[in-house]
Amino acid sequence: MKVHRFVTLLMATAAGSWMAVGTAGEEYGKVVLNDKMPALVKPTLDTRIRYEYGDQEGLDVSHAGTMRNRVGLLSREMGGFQIFGEYEGTLAVDRNSYRAASVHGPAGKTIIADPESHELNQAWVSYTAPSDVWGVKVGRQRIILDNWRWVGNVGWRQNEQTYDAAGITFNPTKDIEVYYGFIWQVNRIFGSDVFFPPHTDFTGNSHIFNTKFKNTPLGTLTTYVYSLDLHNLAGDINSNTSFGFSLAGPLCDTGMDYYLEYAHQIDAYSNPIDYEANYVHASVSGNLTETVKGTLGMEYLGSSSGRGFAFPLGTNHKFNGFADRFLATPAGGLTDWYASVATPIPFGAKFVAAYHYFWDDGYDVALGQEVDLVASKDLGNGLSILAKAAFFDGMGGQPDVTRASLELDFKY
């Protein structure tokens, strides 16, 4: 019966795709239309079918078969104005075969945070000035800044994170980009039926400032201030203010690229924990051969008063290993030494392998090491396939974790 349900859902999605004539871009404020069909309103479709395996030492194995659909309507731009609304729904083959955070599934199983959920994902109106120098967007929206570390949509999970916010962009020259956002609610990945206090949505009055200066003598300079007033049923422990900068560009005449970032974070608003911490991220990357690219890097997340540097709005799955052991920074902080290689492989696919070594500076102890593997291929006509695996070898009391997934994506 469960298999029949999943096949029925798949057939319904395929039928709907023939009716869709647009696509919603993943970047902030960007939705692409098929201009061959003149219409005031056009539909969008984004479907992902995934099987994910999770095995954490001390817990039972989880098997999550899920399908996520996003269906929307986008207006054409008229006089600089545009309107977009989007529904998002995630369905599971078997709710009891995995632990979907606090929403459903046996408590003794490994967490795979893709609960069944149905919600309004986006609903916004935007205005762009004729000169494209400035624009504004108000409503429930996707916001992704820079490398997704600070503000992102947690796009790996089926139910993405969106924001009830007002955002203003200002581009006085082609080399300067300014963004300010006011956020009053964060619609998190745990869905519409979450009841565990730490997983509930955030409310508050948060301010995010981000300014990018391109083509400086050192490359691209980004400065930012993120003042986060975040409340949920667990209290105010996620409220903080961070300010910092990043530099990215070519490394002299070596043919390599560099990335350097520093930030300082303090508690803010009604956070009951008095703490401050530093953040450093540095990496170099370059071509090892004509087709193989390598990266070496270090990410340091400090701590004080038993509170680690926090990224409550970030796409944290993208950092510190795909096994998701360090979505929250340990009380003693975290140092992640990592290396990766990316290369094309047969049949037009892409392959990435990464190694991480984790260290807790506060307690002077190794936390573990991890190997991540990802293979992906664009199949054309809006279809793509991805396989992903993470193998975390725990140390210092950390459990071993293995995760693997296979997914099919369709956008039209």
Task: Output the CA–CA distances (angstroms, integers) from residue 333 to 151, 197, 361, 366, 376, in the order listed.
Answer: 20, 24, 6, 12, 33
Question: Which whole number is the average pLDDT over 335-350?
Answer: 98
Query: So what's the pLDDT on residue 193?
Result: 81
Q: Are 228 and 267 in contact (CB under 8 A)?
A: no
Q: Are 312 and 289 in contact (CB under 8 A)?
A: no
| β-pair partners for 380 | 383
Query: So what's the pLDDT on residue 103?
Result: 80
In the numeric block, which tokens belong to residue 320? 């510190």
Instruction: Give the range among 20-34, 233-247, 253-267 with minimum mean pLDDT.
Output: 20-34
Query: So what's the pLDDT on residue 26?
Result: 38
70/255: higher pLDDT: 70
Query: So what's the pLDDT on residue 195?
Result: 81
Question: Which whole number is the average pLDDT over 377-400?
Answer: 98
How high is the mean pLDDT of the chain?
A: 92
Question: Which whole number is the average pLDDT over 342-356?
Answer: 98
Question: Which whole number is the average pLDDT over 269-292?
Answer: 97
How far is residue 277's CA from residue 300's CA, in Å, rounded to a whole number?
A: 10
Q: Is the pLDDT of residue 148 over 80?
A: yes
Q: What is the pLDDT of residues 103-133, one digit of tens each?
A: 888 999 999 999 999 999 999 999 999 988 9
Q: What is the pLDDT of residues 88-98, one digit of tens each?
A: 999 999 999 99
Q: What share of the chain is helix, strand, coil (3-state, %, to 5)?
A: 5, 55, 35
Q: Is the pLDDT of residue 8 over 70?
A: no
75/1: higher pLDDT: 75
Full-model pTM: 0.90
Query: So what's the pLDDT on residue 37?
Result: 53
Query: So what's the pLDDT on residue 371?
Result: 99
Q: What is the pLDDT of residues 358-378, one digit of tens each?
A: 999 888 999 999 999 999 999
192/319: higher pLDDT: 319
Q: β-strands 349-360, 365-380: how paired?
A: antiparallel
Q: Are 261 and 244 in contact (CB under 8 A)?
A: yes
| Domains of the chain from N-terminus onward | 41-411 (2.40.160.100)
Q: Is the pLDDT of residue 348 over 60?
A: yes
Q: What is the pLDDT of residues 22-38, one digit of tens each?
A: 333 333 344 444 555 56
How far is residue 97's CA from residue 106's CA, in Å, rounded to a whole number?
A: 8
